[in-house]
Amino acid sequence: MQAARLTAGSFLLLIVIGAVLLSLPISTRGEGSVPPLEGIFTATSAVCLTGLVVVDTATFWTPFGQAVILGLIQVGGLGIMTLASLTGMLLVRKVSIRSRRLAQAESRPFSMGGAKRTILATVLLTVVTEAVMALILAWRFITEYQLPVAYSLWSGTFHSISAFNNAGFALRSANMIDFQDDWFILSPIMIAVVLGGLGYSVLAEIVRRARHRWRMRHSRSTTAVGHLSVTSRITLIGTAVLLIAGFAIYLAVEWHGAFEEFGVGKKILNALFATVTARTAGFNAIDYSQLSDTSLLATEGLMFVGGGSAGTAGGIKITTIVVLLYAMWTEFSGEKEVIVSKRHVPDSVIRQAMTVAAAGALVVWLSIVVLRVLNPHLDADHVTFEVVSAFGTVGLSTGITAALTGPSQVILCVLMYLGRIGPITMVAALAARKTTRHFHYPEERPLIG
């Protein structure tokens, strides 16, 4: 509980530090200081890996300001406690049990005995992936668009880190719209987004299995590889299902809509990119204000579900929704136990999934109502889209973020913060202690349905 509270507090402190740095004159291109709300909103969006903006990242902020945003994204993605544990490990060659529990509270589960290896693997995976994607993007900027080498390297690095951490910040005023027909720009971004959204534990398990298979092949070992964990199976299968479903919906609905003037290849690329980024990344290669209500509704569903646990994705997570679906199927079929991949799921996990989903839905609904009251001049569908995007830490927008009232932007900041640290972490952070009742009340079954 203390670990969860410290995690929530540390992210809040990082937001404050980021807002202070962004308020410095060196951070902006114009004269005068940055309005406090703009600095707080941008810092919150960066730390929470969202990507919603009230000012143009490319033109409003100086290279220093952009570097501050990038630093907030990287620290927010890796996790403050993960970085603190890494620093302590490098200095004193060990990780305390307290530090391990703090890092664990940031949704990076690991065994107590393998803390060092897990932390190092997390950082190594992040750095290598971001470096490779940065070089690919920089090469494309230089060879195809004839941009200066220094700017291309900076832009490639910025977009790579933003993509892997599912942040959605871009150094282009139109985000990725200028590259909506460029497979060599959008593909690396999609790959980085998916890898970051799967989660560190899932990627680590895939790497371990691949290494084990390689060793078996070369050493002729007969040791079995073993099955994927339930979490990894749910995440991988759920990700594939969501990507296929989203791609089909975008392509079918917008073929003669927002994609009407695109060629077949361009339609396929943008439908795929929209599906990938809608699940927590926030990059946009199309104008979402031009999408149909059906596409906006489908996008809201993808944003609310989000990506895998223990990664940089937002939303209520794939595992949460899949566990709930299995629980529903169990009730429909009359079974007594929830079975996923031949594994029994404890009732406590079912209750956690129900709590996360219900709390998320309630927070989103209340926020929509309040924002509709505060912004009666704005379209209801666009307000709903904005709220879900903030809570899912996605960053997609129909273009109304800057037009919202000040109190509305504060509400979005709270939503981004809640979406980043997670409902369960937030509940644990606010709870002073957990009491145990030593008696039971009489049982009575209320009518359901």
Question: How do residues 58-117 score in pLDDT, each as one tens digit?
Answer: 999 999 999 999 999 998 888 754 554 444 444 444 545 455 555 544 444 444 445 566
Residue 170: the pLDDT is 95
With contact defined as beta carbons under 8 Å apart, do 275 and 243 qualify?
A: yes
Decide: pTM greater than 0.75. Answer: yes
* Cα 242 to Cα 247: distance, rounded to the nearest angstrom: 8
**Cα 186 versus chain centre, distance:** 18
Residue 105: the pLDDT is 47
Q: In the 8-state DSSP scheme, what is residue 61?
A: B
Mean of the per-residue pLDDT values for the chain?
A: 85
Residue 322: the pLDDT is 92
Those residues with Cβ within 8 angstroms of residue 22's Cβ, 6 or more apart along the chain or in another chain:
28, 34, 39, 42, 43, 61, 65, 68, 69
What are 152-177's pLDDT values in tens digits?
Answer: 999 999 999 999 999 999 999 999 99
Give the Å distances, CA to CA, from 135 to 68, 71, 128, 129. 21, 19, 11, 10
Percent of the chain predicted with pLDDT > 70: 84
Residue 84: the pLDDT is 46
Residues of the chain falling short of pLDDT 70: 1-6, 80-118, 218-226, 310, 423-436
Residue 226: the pLDDT is 62
* Cα 314 to Cα 303: distance, rounded to the nearest angstrom: 8
* Cα 25 to Cα 16: distance, rounded to the nearest angstrom: 17
